[in-house]
Amino acid sequence: DAGVIQSPRHEVTEMGQEVTLRCKPISGHNSLFWYRQTMMRGLELLIYFNNNVPIDDSGMPEDRFSAKMPNASFSTLKIQPSEPRDSAVYFCASSLALGRGRETQYFGPGTRLLVL
């Protein structure tokens, strides 16, 4: 199994530009999570999809952030316009959700975003 795939692995952009991060979950998993990790705040959940439907986006910091999951094998996280404070490592994780709160989440390698 290839695991969770994320692209790009690194992204450097200028303030105001649009950034799109991509994720391919593990085949057969029905839940997908986007996280952001910083030294100051640690790992924060941004949004959670179940069966391609956004269930909880309360962690999305601002309207500049949006996420989509058009099918079971692909999701995007978009930041428009980007700001320096968005610099972080963004992780995508997937799991086979059975509604019991203990499903293992498998993380991708992350995308390191630097906004200048």
Partner 1 sequence: QKEVEQDPGPLSVPEGAIVSLNCTYSNSAFQYFMWYRQYSRKGPELLMYTYSSGNKEDGRFTAQVDKSSKYISLFIRDSQPSDSATYLCAMSTNSGYALNFGKGTSLLVTP
Binding site for partner 1 (CB under 8 A): 4, 31, 41-43, 45, 48, 50, 55-56, 91, 93, 97, 99-110, 112
Cβ distance to partner 1 smaller for residue 80 or 85: 85
| Separation between Cα atoms, residue 99 and residue 96, nearest integer Å | 9
Instruction: Provide the terminal-to-terminal Cα distance of the chain, rounded to the nearest Å.
Output: 36
Cβ distance to partner 1 smaller for residue 74 or 107: 107
Provide, rounded to whole angstroms, the least separation between the CB of residue 110 and partner 1. Answer: 5
CA distances from 99 to 91, 92, 110 (A): 22, 19, 25
Cβ distance to partner 1 smaller for residue 70 or 99: 99
Residues making up the chain, counted from first to last:
116
> Which candidate, 30, 25, 27, 19, places its Cα nearest to that of 108?
25
Cβ distance to partner 1 smaller for residue 13 or 50: 50
Provide, rounded to whole angstroms, the least separation between the CB of residue 5 and partner 1. Answer: 11
